[in-house]
Amino acid sequence: MDALLIALFLLLLIALMETARVRRSGTQRRAGNVPPPPPEPAGLPLVGHLHLFRKPLHRTLARLAARHGGAVFGLRLGSRRVAVVSSAPAAEECLGAHDVAFADRPRLPSGRILSYDWSTMGTASYGPYWRHVRRVAVTEILSARRVQHFADVHVREARAMARHLHRAAVRHGVGGAARVRVELKSRLFELLMNTMMAMICDKTYYGDDDDGEVSKEARWFREMVEETMALSGASTVWNFLPAALRWVDVGGVGRRLWRLRESRTRFLQGLINDERKEMEQEQGGDRAQPAARRRTMIGVLLSVQRQDPDACPDQLIRSLCISSLEAGTDTSADTIEWAMSLLLNNPNVMRKARDEIDAFIGQPVRLLEASDLTKLQYLQCIIMETLRLYPPAPLLVPHEASTDCSIAGFHITRGTMLLVNTFAIHRDPQVWNEPTSFIPERFENGRSEGKMAIPFGMGRRKCPAENLGMQMVGLALGTMIQCFEWERVGEELVDMTEGSGLTMPKEVPLQAFYQPRASLMHLLY
């Protein structure tokens, strides 16, 4: 009871302070040309525009921008000022000309918990620490050399998924391979978790000859990733509640976040400890052929740590590993699932992609290799068009202004959070012809150069894992197109409704029929 009274008193105090702040901001708005808020519905005391949070948030913000004609408009989420950018020119100003001014990240409460006090590359503020983390990640993990180093892992896991699907079809067939129904997101997650874990610590959780059973650890990891994406970022109201309400923990979000942090820390530290033990055994001569073992992500980072413990402590290794695991599994699986959904709704595009692969591979028939991807131009166009329509981060990871600046003629004050609505920008009819249509040809022969497609962001905070992501997505998607005939489950088009969260999953997981192509079955046994 005492705690409740204290919380109510704090809320009243905050409400009074907020009313005064709103009055001051109104005076400031008249004095300076700050981004205007939507005229309706108006912001409320204490919570501001939090009542506008309708999921998925990128759709809500796109509707507000379209309704009120705002390339840039302002919101107040709790006590935090927010500028929402929904046009390519304004986004280019923010992340181009004013890149340094918007290189900071807002210190959202969920980030403090899940990102170890904002210490991950994606949540750290711009400065020496962030530059150090990014340098370590790009040099030791994400360089072109390291991506190429793991190309055979990506090929191996894409083929393992294809063989698993093939065996299921043979089991259901009589004297051949049957036409089989599959829920694709689970298979894609298995593929990408195996791929990322092989890169991080040389472990896999889904075997090539498994019976469909999933390990307890693998099930937990998928649930953890999905919950993390649901509770993180700007789409989570809890991040913007007054401190008193977060303290009361309405809805139990805070407790869920802390449980996630504790379980993730145990999992990641276990991986680090296992790798450290393996390396010590190798150095002690306990292994017969230490040189034959692949250098993993954790192994490389532990080598950096051995040279300079302060430069790469265990917490930094945990931060880099969890960022890689979550981004490499969830966003890549979503992208492939969206691409397959679009191809099933546009079978002529699927046929054109398969014809390109068949023509390039020629005779004798073989399975796709990583080195083939750059030459399969139409496959690349399909991936780019998928990323345009369904960007993995429909609202880029939030930025924050570290200094006053001007965007599209509006004054942006220091401390304002910036939300760049890539979903709206990628579908802007002033930039793209038929913006909601799936037309991979728009990316052929550099036709769309100069048009803003920024699924990985831009500027200093651009995602450095673009090459890795494109290779994993390209191999998985290309292998599925090459090896199988695909059909929709019914006559209706695949449901393309978006889910909500930090990323953009499908609301309804994709199910489809597939059948191995007769000409490639001998390669899938």
Can you say which residues are annotated as belonging to the binding site for heme?
A: 463
Residue 118 zone, left/alpha/beta (φ > 0; ψ -120 to 50; rest): left
Residue 251 DSSP code: G
The CA-CA-CA angle for residues 135, 138, 373, to 5°, reads 165
Confirm if 111 and 95 have CB atoms less than 8 A apart: no
The 3-state DSSP class for residue 181 equals: strand
Backbone dihedral region for residue 202 (phi beyond 0: left; psi -120 to 50: alpha; all else: beta): left
Cβ-contact 46, 242 below 8 angstroms? yes
Rounded Cα distance between 133 and 464, Å, is: 12
Query: What's CA 37's distance to the chain center, in Å?
Result: 29
Confirm if 202 and 293 have CB atoms less than 8 A apart.
Answer: yes
Paired with 399 in beta bridges are 418
CA angle 30, 107, 31 (to 5 degrees): 10
Give the closest residue to 342 by CA, choosing from 316, 313, 381.
381
Cβ 75 vs Cβ 49: under 8 Å: yes
CB 501 within 8 A of CB 229: yes
Contacts for 275-280 with beta carbons within 8 Å, 24 or more apart?
Answer: 275/201, 275/299, 275/302, 276/302
Enumerate the H helices of 418-465 as residue ranges.
422-426
User: With left for phi above 0 and alpha for psi between -120 and 50, is residue 318 left, alpha or beta?
Assistant: alpha
> What number of H helices and E strands is found in the chain?
18, 9
* Known binding-site positions: 463
Query: Angle between the 184-201 and 151-172 helix axes, to the nearest 10 degrees?
Result: 150
Structure tokens at 183: 């829920």
Q: Where are the beta strands (DSSP E) in 455-510?
A: 484-488
Pairing state between β 511-516 and 399-400: unpaired
User: For tokens 């994606």, what's the residue?
Assistant: 122
Q: Is-contact 344 512, C-beta < 8 A?
A: yes
DSSP state of 48: B
